[in-house]
Each structure stands twice: as structure tokens, then as C-alpha cells.
Structure 1
């Protein structure tokens, strides 16, 4: 039996979870249709999901379409939970992007389209809610150049994109089905279907297209193991997608052994849970070396402090938040040891509710949040050197170390190998890797202004030890002490997050738009005019982006669109 790992993605409220429910029902995987409004859907299991009627955590449901086993992943549509979508995208064979026939392409739809295009993920479009007043499927897909509406004669559209299709079209012959399949697999086109998840209209056509047009998983179980972790449960189970090879109980992976697999073993193409592999992070690759995949979407740019209502539960709160950060690395838990404050990163305010409800429901902890602020970073403003010698100048550690801090990247060794305690670290590579962890952890504690430090190059210019007294703990304690001194001496520049943006609207609104953008501290490039439309690109501080989005309809007579993407941190002086 073939396997298809399928994602359902959409802007919030486009009907994504309702479509998931309908597909499960039509396939016979569930006996009755659940309702988002009633909180009775199969994949929204969290209390907050049921109460709010939105998806927060990706959920996997399995059903069969003919001889194909479909692992269907229902992802969040709300932008606060974009990290969950990223994790799903890493393990998909194909996707269905859901649009509303009434609202059409919305802000999150554009983000998802760009991402599907960049990752070359084969996808179908489903224009939902055709039973609603104001539905217009043709208008809904009009802004998507790759969309091919299957409710029209699509031969001409395919002929414009493919030589084989063009030859058949000019000869007056039907275009072979393999052409549409090939173009869809390569993400050159997005076949579009229309219907209603509520009434069931169009679901049969979409279901047939899922198995006809989307690629099945490669199932080479004899190749070397390669699997990606896309979710981690509280019981430390790692949800993985196996791309090649096989995972079974008692398999030795690195220095660890698999203790349990659900189902009993996982072969190439399958999704399941693996137990016993400690230290895994979301995005890690198992087999062929443990490595984290690069991040697709921007990191969170907001942060808030978390305090227990009962001050005596601070230690329990830290432990609970550490577990949540393991399940969601982008929570980015930070502890300000001097102030005793715990901070977490956020994409938006709804995440506060999720964290609050999770801490209360799963850990019996009541908490309060501080004001949400924009995340900044610190970068060295200059160069400084800090060192400590065993037995001198109040050095509390049995280790000698000198660090050179300067703008740049990475941790570098500039000391003879005989000065490194190889009886502790076994090799210079292991010592180097340990120092990288120590430096990363120290920078995560914050610089002089309390923000994470980035853009720093650290070079070890002196090292020493006293055998057998020196331990790894001595270097682990000494590194943050020296870096704190070096950062204070060099000084740091506080940098704020910025987004690149593109605004489009009617030409008549251009002068108004250009006059207003400086109010949001936006910098712009030369505007472009194309007929009756303008296009302006530029950069805007992330903290002002939401206000610009709110003002856009008034500035463009309701006809403007804005697309934005995280563009890093910039010195705001």
C-alpha cells in the first residue's frame, strides 16, 4: 500500500479543520461529522482549541483512499502558531491549501503560498464555502498565478506552461493526465477545486485529486536511516517522519537505544512516535548525523515575563516552562538570574492564553504575565579581552582562560593542544564543541541590557588547567563570567527587529501612502506604478507593523494589500 503524508494549511477561519473532518468522514475514519463551533472535531483536542474554534497544535489523523494510506496533518491557521505549520511542512509529501470562496486570498494565505513555492511542496487548492452568500471561486484564486481551476476547461492553461501539453492542445488531442500530475509534482501548477466542507459539495473530486495528482512517499526501507522530528510530547515521545530506512525497538542510534516505537516499527514514508532518544529537538534529523534543519519562518519578535501567583512555586514554574520549551523550542525560555525573572517568546497574545491554560491544566500552576514587549538583541560595539588565571585575581575556578570578544561570528581556538585538558574533553573537537555550548548559553542569559547577544566572535587566546583537579564544570562556570566582563568593557548596541514589506494599492492613494509611511518609521525604495496600481517596498520596525496593517484600509480606500517578512535585527540609533 502506498503512503501519502498530506498537510491541510490555510488562513484562520477558511474552513481547514472542517475540511479535515469531512475527509475523515467520507473515508469512513469517523462515524459522524464533528463541528468546529460545537468543539467536537476529531483533530482539535485541546480545551482551548474547542473553546476558541481554532487549531493550535498540529494533529495527525490516518485514513485510506483506495490503496493509499493518507496521514493527514491538520495545522493551525492563526499566525500566532506559525511554528506548528513550519514543523508540518518539513514532513509533507503534498498539501491542500484551503481558501474561502468569500474572502479569497488573505494575509496568511500569501505567507503559505510563498512558503509552498519556496519549498517546492506539491499542493492542491480547495476553494471552500461555496455555499455561502458572496462566494466567487474564480475571484478567490485570481491572485494565484499557478492556480488551474479544474471547474473550467484547463487545457489552455496547461498548454501555456508545458511543451507536451502545448503539442497535444495544438493537435486537438486531450492532454495526457500524466502532464497535470508531473506539473503538480514539480509545483509548477496548483490544481484548484471548489466546494463546501460543510455540505460535502466537491469533496469527491478533491479526494480523487489527492491520490491522482499528489506524489506518494518514497518507501526505500533498505537505505540508511533518515527521519525528521516534527513534534515532541510531554512524555518525551518524538513524532517523526521517516524518509528512508527503518526505526525499530532496540535500534542503536548514536549512543542511545530506541525503547519503544508506535506503531511497532516505522519504515520509510511512515509517521509515528519514537521513545528513548533523549535530547532531541524539534527539527532534528535522526540518522545520517543529528542536525537541525534551518528555520523556515521568522522567529517570534515579542516577549513577556511569567510569574507564579504563589511565589513559592517559582522553581516548579521554571521546570514546567522548561518542559514546554522542549515541546516548542521557539518559546525560547530565558532566565534573568539577577532579577529572578522568567521570560518566554511569543508570536502573539493568544499564545499567552495557551501557556496559561497549559500550566494550569497540566501542571496545576496559576501564573500572571507581564507586559508584552518587542524582542531586541545586543551586538558588541567594540573589542575586549577578559581572562582569569588559576589561583589569581579571585578566580573561583580551577581553570585558566582568556577570551577575545569582537564583532563577528563563531567560537574559535587559538591555543596549543597541550594547553587543553584532554583528560576531561578527550579531543580538541570535543573541547571546541563544549565551549560553543558554554558561549551560546552565556549569550542567551543576556548582555548588559538584558537581551540575547548575537553577532559576536569569541576567540580563546589562553587556556590552562591543573590535573587532575580541573573539571569541565570549571570551564562551564568561567566562560559566562569572562564574557560578562568582556561585554561590559566592549559595550553593546541594542538592535530591534525589522520586517521587509510590500504595499500595493490604487495609484490614486500613492501620495497618501508615501506621506504616512514615515509615521511608522518605515524606510522605502522608489515606488513603482503599473497601470492603475502602485507598489511600494521597504522596511518597517516590527513593533510598528501591526499598526501599519490596521491603517492600510483607510490609506488605500480598502483596496490595499500588505505582505511582510522578518528581515532580521537592525541598529535603531
Structure 2
């Protein structure tokens, strides 16, 4: 039996959790459809989720459709919890993007679709809520084509739109208009099909078109669109047929046909998989959610994961027909919960190669742009608060917990105010800690503006460490991240301390990344290449600690020589408004340091796009109703970072301040 790891993604309130309930009901996993409003759904199990009626944590539930085991992952729709979606993307075989037939394409919908396309994840589109007043069909299809992708094919039409009698009517293979549109769409990616269709339309059968649609959907080139209502069940039968027909399962080829031999060969291969979620059990133990790519993990196996970590698997649960059941092993394509990996982290790769996945490196969505200080109301809870926040950071690494030992303050990164409320409620409910927050502030970044070099020589005055370290730092293209390289001779590497050159590189790479969390002005440094140009040691006296403690001094010295520019987060905005309100809007945008594009006017209505600093988005959102007589609709999403004008903002340091040699050495050599 093949396996499909399926993600359900949407803008908040589009109805994806209700769709999940409907799919579970259709598969016979549940005998009654739960309600988001009543807090009785299968996947929203947290008390906070039931209370608020929103998904906060991704949840996995399994069922069988036509001999395909579907591991369905329900993800949050609220943008404050985009990090949960981030981690899920790396384990998906396919996705269903849910859009409301009333609200249509929204800001988060566009962010999700762009990411699904960039990662080439096969995606079906389900337009939900066709039974609601104000629901659209042609309007929604036009919006999808304009705002998401033109490579769509509606798989049917809608009857009694906007009423409780609404239904989805799939197009028949004999519908010439439908097959003509389908052939034209598919021919854009298939020259043979185009030639055959041009020569003789009747020579191309619907079976050929359907097979080609499955192939191109599997390659994320086209996207079938279904309409329906999860709450009344309209259209979900057709969607289920589309999931099994058009989304590729593990153990199937590009045409969607099952190949058990391939699946078995993968089971016998080397172990590899991705940890996309970590939670704590009732006894406080870590539980790793792993999507297996190849091989088989069994209980009592010693498993490598992350960077040079290892643990013994003590228990395994595999998702099967609605719940996670105990098993002796988990095989390729499946999702399992593993116990026993005490040091496991979100993003760890498991198996022979280890390492950290792209999702662990925050590769898909923008990182949080807000930061706040968490303060315990009871001074005696400070220690417990740090432990609790550290455990929350295990489940969500983008919280990015930082502690200022001098000021005795703890900082967390945020996507928005709702996330802050959830952290507060979680700390009170799960840990019994009552907290408040300081004012939320913006997070900036730093980028090098030039090249810089520095070196500390072993045995020279002022270097108390038994190591030589020389570094060069250079700017890298925007979005390139941090790249650490070696340019030293083999004999300069202490291989009696490190087993291999790669282990040496990984250890120094980790120190580099930790050091760059706070640059010259206190912000994280990105988009740079760091090269180790000098290395030296004393045998047998030098230790890994000598290199680890010396690296920050050298790196920050090189960074000071290179110089950095502080950059602020900038959003892209889209505003629909009455045309005659443009004159009132433009001066407000100028005051907020926004850069609008040329407006587009269509009669009495208009649209305006542009860039606006993230710090000003909230104020603009508050003013839009008054500026547009309540008719304006504003969408915004993170787009890029740009250099700030004027004096660069600074952030208090929470490291040992390697910019100040005396202060740094006082900290790291204390007690030595």
C-alpha cells in the first residue's frame, strides 16, 4: 500500500479544519463531524485551540483512501503560527490549498501558494463555503488566476451557489468545452499533446488527458480546482477522487501508479528522515515526529540525528486509521512518533547522514519580525520561566529564546500579538507561571557591507587559548544566508580532537552561527561568507574549547573591519479602495515611509500596491477603514529587508560581548 503525506493549508477561517473533519468522516475514521466553534474537532486537541476556534499546532491523522494510506496534516491558518506550516512543508507529498468562496484569495493564501510553487509541491485547490451568502464562482476563479497562478483547471461547476442547497457538479469527460480547456492548459507543458490536439482534436482521448493531468499535477505544473462546502459535504467526494488520482503517493511513479517494488527497495535502503515536530509527553520526555524518506527504523535501534547526535529508539507509534498506534518499526513514506531521542530538535535529519534540514534553517517563510521581553509576575519563577521557555523553543525554534544575564531578562521572537497571547496562556496552563510582556519591538538584521579579515596566533601575547584562528568575512547575495568554508592545510587541523575534517568544519560552523546572532549593533548577521584562512594547535594540549572560545573574538574583529548595515523588515501591501479616496491615502503612506506603486483605477474603484515598513503596517491597518469609508480591503505580507536611514537602531547584547576583548575574556576565562 502506498502512502501520501498530505497537507491542508489555508488562510485563517477558510475552513480547512472543517474540511479535515469531512475527509475523516468520509473515510470512516469518525462517525460524527466535529465543530470548530464547539471545540469538538479531531485535530484541534489543545485546550487553547478549542477555546479560540483556531489551529495553533500542526496535527497528524491517518486514514485509507482507495488503497492509499493518507497521513493528513492539518496546519494553522493564522499568520502568527506560520512557523508550524514551515516545518510541515519539508515532509509533504502533496497539498490541498483551501480558499473561501466568499473572501476569496487572501494575504496568507498568496504567501502559501508562492511557497508551494517554489518547492514544487503538487497542489489541489479547494474553494470552500459555496453554501454561504456572497459566495462566488467566476469571481473566485478569476482571482485565483490573477493572484495565485493561471495554471488552473476548474473540475466542475456549482449549482444553487450561496444557498444550503449548493452543490458541485463535476464536468463529464464528454463535455467538449471542459476537455478543450484542459487540453489547451496541458499542451503548454507537453509538445506531443499539443501537436496531436492541433492535428485532430478527437484523436486525444479523455483517458490521455486525465493521465497527463495527473503527471503535470504531480510535477506542480498545473492545479485542479474543486468547489464545495466542507460543512454540508458538497464537493468533497470529487475532491477525494482528485486526491487519490492526481497527487503522487510514495511508491508510485509520476503517473500516479503504485509500484510496490520501488517502495520495498526504499524500505531496505539507508535510514533517512526529517523531524518536523517535537512535543513533550506526560512524563516530560521528548517525542519526535519523523517523516521517513528511506529505510526502516525499529525499536531499540541506535539512531543518528542532527549534527553528530545519537540516541536509542525506545518506542514507536505510527499514524494509522485516525490515531497513532504502537508499532515495532516505521518505514519509508510513513510518519512516526519516536521516543528515546533526548537531544532531538525540530529540523534534524535522522539516519546515516544526519544534519539539519532546510526547514530547520527557516528556509521557506520570513522569520519573525517582532520581539518582546517575557516577565514573570512572581520573582521566584524566573528559573522555572527559563526552563519553560526553553521547552517551548524546542517545539518552535523560531521563538529564538535569548537571555540577557546582566539585565536578567528573557526575550522571545514573535510573528504577532496572538502568538504572544498563546505563549502567555500556555505558560500559565502547562507550567503554572503567570507572565506579562514588555512592549513589542521590531527585529532588524545586519548585513556586511565590505570584506574584513582577522587572525589570532597561538602563543602570541593577548591570546590565552591554545589555538590559531584566522577568518575572512565577505558579503553574499541577499537571501544566501551564512556559508562557512575552510581554506587551510590538513596538517593545521587537530584531527586528534576532531574525528574528521568535516566534523571540525561543522563544529566551527556552529560557533560562527551562534556568534552571528548578534552583530556590531546587536542584530543577527545574515548573507555572508566566512572562510577559515588560518588554523593551528599544540598537540596534545589544544582542545575543541580553545577553538570554540577564540572564534567569536576573531569573527567580530573581522566583522568590525568589514562593517555592517542595519536593515528593517518591509512588507508588500495591496489595497482595494474607492477611487475617490486615493487623495487621502497617499499623504498617509508618505508619512508612514511607504513607497506606493502607480495606482490602478477601474471606474469608481481602484487598487494600490507598494512597500511599507513592517513597523508601520499596524498603524496603516487601523487607518484604512476611516480613509476609505469602511470599503478598503488591505493585504500585506513580508517581502524583504532594506537598509534603515539615519542612525542605526541597536539592541542590548546578551552574549559575552566579543566586541570588547577585555569584557569577553573576563567572562569566558572566569574560573579557569
TM-score, shorter chain, exceeding 0.5 = yes
Following TM superposition, by how much is the alpha carbon of 1:41 offset from its aligned partner in structure 2, in angstroms? 1.0
Secondary structure of 1:239's partner?
Answer: strand
Tell me: CA distance 1:312–1:384, structure 2 relative to 1, closer, same or farther (3 Å).
Answer: farther
Secondary structure of 1:144's partner?
Answer: helix
> Any residues of structure 2 matched to 1:24-423 within 5 Å, and which?
24-145=24-145, 146-151=152-157, 153=171, 154-163=178-187, 164=193, 167=197, 170-171=201-202, 175-176=206-207, 177-218=210-251, 220-223=263-266, 224=269, 225-234=271-280, 235-254=285-304, 256=310, 258-259=312-313, 260-263=315-318, 264-277=328-341, 279-287=343-351, 289-290=353-354, 291-293=356-358, 295-380=363-448, 383=452, 385=454, 387=456, 390=459, 392-393=461-462, 395-401=463-469, 403=471, 407=475, 410-413=483-486, 417-423=490-496
Following TM superposition, by how much is the alpha carbon of 1:38 offset from its aligned partner in structure 2, in angstroms? 1.2
Point out where structure 2 has 5 or more consecutive residues left out of the alignment: 146-151, 158-168, 172-177, 188-192, 252-261, 319-327, 477-481, 647-672
- Contact kept, 8 Å, 2:2 with 2:67, in 1: the verdict is yes
Are 1:435 and 2:508 matched, yes or no?
A: yes
- Contact kept, 8 Å, 1:377 with 1:569, in 2: the verdict is no
Secondary structure of 2:516's partner?
Answer: helix
Match of 1:424 among 487, 494, 497: 497
Comparing 72-81 with 122-131, greater Cα deviation is found at 122-131
Point out where structure 1 has 5 or more consecutive residues left out of the alignment: none
Tell me: CA distance 1:95–1:336, structure 2 relative to 1, closer, same or farther (3 Å).
Answer: same
Comparing 127-136 with 418-427, greater Cα deviation is found at 418-427
Aligned equivalents of 1:310, 1:285: Cα separation in 2: 39
Following TM superposition, by how much is the alpha carbon of 1:496 offset from its aligned partner in structure 2, in angstroms? 1.4
Following TM superposition, by how much is the alpha carbon of 1:375 offset from its aligned partner in structure 2, in angstroms? 0.5
Aligned equivalents of 1:170, 1:512: Cα separation in 2: 55
Comparing 457-466 with 207-216, greater Cα deviation is found at 457-466
- Contact kept, 8 Å, 1:526 with 1:536, in 2: the verdict is yes
Following TM superposition, by how much is the alpha carbon of 1:503 offset from its aligned partner in structure 2, in angstroms? 5.5
Q: How high is the TM-score relative to the length of structure 1?
A: 0.87
Aligned equivalents of 1:117, 1:462: Cα separation in 2: 42
Aligned equivalents of 1:455, 1:124: Cα separation in 2: 35
Comparing 200-209 with 345-354, greater Cα deviation is found at 200-209
Q: Which residue of the partner structure matches residue 468 of structure 1?
A: 540
Encode CA deviations 1:232-274: one digit per residue, 9 max, x unaligned.
Answer: 1223322122233332234454473551332332222211123
Secondary structure of 2:611's partner?
Answer: strand
Tell me: CA distance 1:202–1:317, structure 2 relative to 1, closer, same or farther (3 Å).
Answer: same
Encode CA deviations 1:324-369: one digit per residue, 9 max, x unaligned.
Answer: 2222121112223443322111111111122222223333333222
CA RMSD of aligned residues (A): 3.5
Aligned equivalents of 2:215, 2:531: Cα separation in 1: 51
Aligned equivalents of 2:140, 2:274: Cα separation in 1: 34
Aligned equivalents of 2:245, 2:485: Cα separation in 1: 53
Aligned residues: 571
- Contact kept, 8 Å, 1:10 with 1:108, in 2: the verdict is yes
Q: How high is the TM-score relative to the length of structure 2?
A: 0.75
Tell me: CA distance 1:421–1:95, structure 2 relative to 1, closer, same or farther (3 Å).
Answer: closer
Q: Which residue of the partner structure matches residue 541 of structure 1?
A: 613
- Contact kept, 8 Å, 2:345 with 2:394, in 1: the verdict is yes
Tell me: CA distance 1:508–1:3, structure 2 relative to 1, closer, same or farther (3 Å).
Answer: same
Comparing 322-331 with 479-488, greater Cα deviation is found at 479-488
Tell me: CA distance 1:341–1:248, structure 2 relative to 1, closer, same or farther (3 Å).
Answer: same
